[in-house]
């Protein structure tokens, strides 16, 4: 089975479980979007290098030159078809633009990427977004 199809099957199974077992009056469900990789510099108009070694600044702009990972569409499709609301914590584009946010060879192990080894700023941003969503959902204001 294609891994993208397997991802869709797994996510659909999870969505059915949420639909059957979660009471939206008492429980909020958040789904974190896709954490990207930065293994190929050509995706951000860089070199053919297989790492992000030497990257020290984020990309400018609001779109990623290499496009979004195909799994993003799967997530959005499954969440859209759910019977109970799930809030998507869409961190994909934000993380894609942070080609500098990985320790890469500086950590001592080549091939490390954001799915496991992001530098502090990237997952901290994810946490800030989640905190904002939780605060707003509780009727609070962001200061």
Identify the CA nearest to 123 among candidates 143, 105, 102, 142.
102
Is 25 in a helix, a strand, or coil? coil
Q: Show the tokens assigned to 43.
A: 């995706």
The DSSP symbol for 88 reads: E
In sequence order, what are the beta bridge partners of 89?
A: 32
Give the pairing of strands 87-89 and 30-32: parallel
Q: What is the pLDDT of residue 10?
A: 98
- Across the chain, the runs of DSSP E, i.e. the strands, are 30-32, 87-89
Cβ neighbours of 65 (radius 10 Å): 13
Q: How many angstroms separate the CA atoms of 86 and 16, rounded?
A: 12
pLDDT of residue 42: 67
| pLDDT reported for residue 100 | 73
The pTM assigned to this predicted structure is: 0.77
Handedness of CA 102, 97, 31, 7 (dihedral sign): negative
- pLDDT tens sequence for the chain (143 residues): 999 999 999 999 999 999 999 999 899 999 999 887 766 666 666 666 656 666 677 778 888 888 889 999 999 999 999 988 899 999 988 888 887 776 555 555 555 555 555 556 788 888 899 999 999 888 877 66
Domain ranges of the chain: 26-137
Cα gap 109→138, rounded to integer Å: 42
């Amino acid at each position: 089975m294609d891994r993208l199809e397997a991802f869709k099957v797994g996510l659909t199974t999870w969505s059915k479980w949420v639909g059957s077992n979660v009471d939206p009056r008492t429980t909020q469900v958040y789904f974190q979007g896709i954490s990207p990789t930065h293994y190929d510099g050509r995706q951000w108009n860089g070199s053919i290098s297989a790492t992000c070694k030497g990257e020290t600044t984020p990309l400018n702009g609001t779109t990623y030159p290499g496009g979004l990972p195909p799994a993003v569409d799967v997530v959005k499709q499954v969440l859209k078809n759910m019977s109970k609301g799930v809030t998507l914590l869409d961190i994909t584009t934000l993380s894609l633009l942070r080609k500098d946010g990985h320790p890469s060879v500086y950590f001592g192990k080549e091939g490390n990427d954001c799915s496991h080894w992001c530098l502090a700023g990237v997952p901290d941003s994810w946490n800030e977004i989640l905190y904002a969503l939780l605060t707003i959902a509780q009727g609070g204001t962001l200061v």
